[in-house]
Structure 1
């Protein structure tokens, strides 16, 4: 029997609550992603499903800190828990990054919401508004 890779929810606009998208405050998410431990953890994870112990060793971060950040990242929809099977047939809990990209509009943050793109989906949430075409700009 072939094991199917876990599916990720479709990309959605942050703050827009659906069954598949988390309700996450933009400020909270940016704070979490700006945290040095979170950055080390995400770097250690790369594109693979990685057990927390391996993340802690690779990122040189304590396991309790890794689990706290992973829980927050999972609640934000940036990480998901997956089950892996090792060579001996034992099931292990691992974590996988589901967030590829985060876009935060700067021109009109009141009217445009940040969006994110899920890993491997190729789909993104709402695009930021307020972009100007090159025809509207004079020469530099």
Structure 2
């Protein structure tokens, strides 16, 4: 997540009921916007707006899937494991914990050490 992004934007995003519903649904399993629309009984434009906001805050990610008939579509999934919101010295702090592949995390750590 972009550390320079105002915390209020993240809190507003997770404070939105439809965004939370979309996030909860894709946390269970990857889903297309159409599946989310049907499952949550939300209009497709509403789902797409929430997905766009969630992607901006790196809370969901998408990947292209190919149907049996050859059509391509995106499926969305949660991009984090948990979130902690703390109030300390009259200031909110948000920490987003992501599940990463251990070898990928080690490679990133190694790259970071070599850059210094």
- Do they fold alike, i.e. is TM over 0.5? yes
Per the normalisation by structure 2, the TM-score is: 0.74
Aligned-pair Cα RMSD in Å: 2.3
**1:111-130 → structure 2 map (5 Å cutoff):** 113-118=93-98, 120-121=99-100
CA offset at residue 58 of structure 1?
A: 0.5
Which residue number in structure 1 is paired with residue 41 of structure 2? Answer: 60
Show CA shifts across 1:103-133 (max 9, x none): 12223354x7321012x3279xxxxxxxxxx
Partner of 1:81: 62
**Residues 91-110 of structure 1: pairs in structure 2 closer than 5 A:** 91-110=72-91
Q: Which residue of 1 aligns with 2:25?
A: 44
**How far 1:35 sits from its partner (Å)?**
0.9
Unmatched segments (≥5 aa) in structure 2 = 103-116
Corresponding residue number in structure 1 for 2:105: none
Larger Rg: 1
Higher-strand-fraction structure = 2
> Could you tell me how far apart the structure 2 residues matched to 1:74 and 1:63 are?
16
Quick check: 1:15–1:25 contact (8 Å CA) kept in 2? no
Q: Distance in 2 between matches of 1:62 and 1:106?
A: 35
TM norm structure 1: 0.63
User: SS at the partner of 1:88?
Assistant: coil
Q: Which has the higher helix share?
A: 2
CA apart distance, 1:15: 4.9
